[in-house]
A and B are shown apart, each in its own frame.
Chain A
Amino acid sequence: MKTMKSYAFMLFACTVFLTVSCVKDVDFNQLDDAVLTPVFEADFIYSQFDIEEFIPDGLPPDTEFTIPVERLRDTINYDLTSTDFAIENLDRVELTIEVRNTIERDFSIVFQFLTADGTAIGELYNVPVAAGMGAGTAPVVSFSNPNPIVLDNPTLVELANARRVYTEILIPAPPLNTNLRGVIDLRSKATYYINYEL
């Protein structure tokens, strides 16, 4: 009888022990609403354009000269959105471009995305560069127009095949002069706004 009682007690104790434990006041379906929204800042392109390096040797002072257009153009590899993940989960990309100029001439810098085989896609973006005040002076800072350049999701879908970036410095008339001195300093960053639903 004592044995029976003790078995009963044991069973009771275990039952209590195992049944009082539970998980409540929680709702795991909330996971459906969870969104990751990190913001990543990454450097984009940079460039230093020192006009002195482009003045042909042997030209006398105060002489007009031109720079061959191929020296003002460049194409670089830049994988903007190469994966489906990026296209699907990028809310937008903002490009911030800042140009500091000490050359006493205004310029403009243009860039455009290209596919792997060099076909241009999307808009040709323009960064007007205001004239500086000469070598050794504080640079005049210009920004892209608009600033920043916003590539929203539809634009990113359009740019899905972008693998390269084409850049060019445009020199409006009149021609450059060998007396000009100074540097164009281009700095830029891309801000990636991710919206990832778990």
Chain B
Amino acid sequence: MRIFIYLCISLWGCSMYAQNKEVLYDFIELPQSLMLNPGADVDFEYHVGIPVLSQIHVNAGFKGASVYDVFADDGRSINDKIETTLNNLGSNDYVTLTQQLEILNFGWKSKKNEKIYYSGGLYEELDLISYFPKDFAVLAYQGNQDFINRPFRFSNISLTGELLTVYHFGYNKKVSKKLTFGARAKLYSSIINFRSTKNSGTFTTIETPNGNNIYQHIINNANVTVKTSGYASLREIESEDTSDGARQVKNKFIGRALLGGNLGLGVDLGFTYQLEDQWTITGSATDLGMIFYTKDVETYRARGSFAFDGIQTPITTGSEGQDVLDELEEAIPIDTLSTAYAAMRPLKLNGSIKYSFNRYDDGTCNYCFEGEDPPYLDGIGLQVFTQFRPKRPQYAASLFYYKRWFSFLRTKVTYTIDDFSYKNIGFLLSTHIDKINFYISGNNLLEYSNLAKARGVSVQFGFNYIM
């Protein structure tokens, strides 16, 4: 129990948000911008991400609370702080954790048509989101005494988790001087997945002045489902209790990562359009796809209604009486099914408008690569982001400022408003030295002096070899 609580809290601790990579989006000097918008207006001859180091992305968030809210060293009782935090949190608050690791990333300009840029690769992704099960947290923390006649809703239980690998290949074409269009095909191989969404039903203790007993405890139309894939076979390994269990799990994971898992298909689409010389708009939809879970599937489902108003003592019969738990199991059986299911990937939408200015053109090209047009050194604009999640989409909007200091050093600063914060400052630093590119970005920088107070932080960094 204690370990579980530490785990939950450390999850809050390293908290950041959804998959919004606002500082990386449309940063066209980095090949990773193609992963956020396959139609980004990139200009590379070729690129190779340093394997396993080309992008490391961690992103976690707790909407509604921070570690500081519970663990502040302020002399107040922790129980009071837990209660206050519990009261402040709502069932639409959530904790998320996203982690991505690029294993391979490469791209090259077509020899036949230099307007076309191909890119491809492989990355691993872990994506978890759990909404705060407010009603049941209250039930566990305070009990039902103060909540007579108030329903505890099973719809509060909503969470998904997935570990997968993504194989992708993208096509980027400068259709005209103004328009760049891109698409990326994705093949998903799910290693492990669980989801419990769209649950329904209530548990209520109602007062019954005219009923059989003081209360009636009612589970009304409960429908709670937990779908899993990739889990049942792991449980078998655990129950065998063999010493090489860890090795077996590792081998299974590697096999599934190498297209041996539950497969799915998806596509990213995007464009860049130059409205006028200095104005650019972009848009993208990524992870428009679905995974089909057919292998190693196990679904647990509890459905039914049940009412309990105590144990009747018939007095007249002298029988053994009723067994409430047996009756409950009969009324709401827990079925284990192995039905295949399919689930959409969390679709992400990005859009931006940018105004570029301060063109540097003194003929020396100290600030640009050879052969490039003299670049604009500054850019300012607005970005919007949406990600579809089980209960409702998450939104974010950012103002950004791009600055090219030297040909080897470019930066971007963002100010973002989202579910987590109204004062989220992000920063990206990208260096290009001897074809080696290194970048690092993060957000919620104002919270870095004390991460405990942060409700979300995101960090990405990586190395590329770019021509």
Contact = CB atoms under 8 A, between A and B. Distances in A.
Given A22-B450, A30-B71, A39-B145, A78 B311 contact: yes
B58 to A, nearest CB: 13
A14 interface: yes
Contacts, number: 178
A42 B439 CA distance: 59
Interface in A2-32: 2-3, 6-7, 9-10, 13-14, 17, 20-28, 30-31
A109 B458 CA distance: 66
B143 A40 contact: yes
Contact of B433 (A6, A39, A70): A6
Given A26-B72, A75-B321, A187-B214, A10 B313 contact: no
Interface residues of A, number: 61
A25 B68 contact: yes
A125 interface: no
A10 B67 contact: no
A20 B448 contact: yes
Interface in B398-450: 406, 408-409, 429, 431, 433-434, 438, 440, 442, 448-450
A49 to B, nearest CB: 6
Contacts of A53: 316
Contacts of B449: 20-22
Given A26-B73, A34-B82, A189-B213, A74 B431 contact: no
A69 to B, nearest CB: 10
Interface string B363-398: 000000000000000000000000000000000000
Contact of A43 (B142, B213, B409, B452): B213
A111 B314 CA distance: 14
Contact of A76 (B68, B142, B311, B450): B311
Interface string A81-115: 00000000000000010100000000000000000
Given A31-B78, A187-B213, A40 B322 contact: no
B347 to A, nearest CB: 31
A23 B452 contact: yes
B311 A46 contact: yes
Interface residues of B, number: 63
Given A13-B440, A36-B141, A41-B205, A74 B309 contact: no
Contacts of A24: 450, 452
Contacts of A75: 318, 320-321
A198 interface: yes
A47 B315 CA distance: 8
A30 B78 contact: yes
A138 interface: no
A167 B409 contact: no
B323 interface: yes
A35 B78 CA distance: 9
A31 B310 CA distance: 36
B176 interface: no
B136 to A, nearest CB: 11
A96 B214 CA distance: 10
Given A26-B67, A43-B309, 12 more contacts: A17-B442, A23-B13, A30-B71, A34-B78, A34-B82, A36-B141, A44-B213, A44-B310, A169-B315, A186-B313, A188-B310, A198-B5
27 contacts: A3-B434, A6-B406, A6-B409, A17-B442, A24-B452, A25-B452, A26-B68, A26-B72, A28-B71, A30-B78, A34-B78, A37-B79, A38-B139, A39-B142, A40-B145, A41-B148, A43-B214, A46-B309, A46-B310, A47-B313, A48-B212, A71-B316, A72-B315, A74-B314, A74-B318, A187-B212, A188-B214
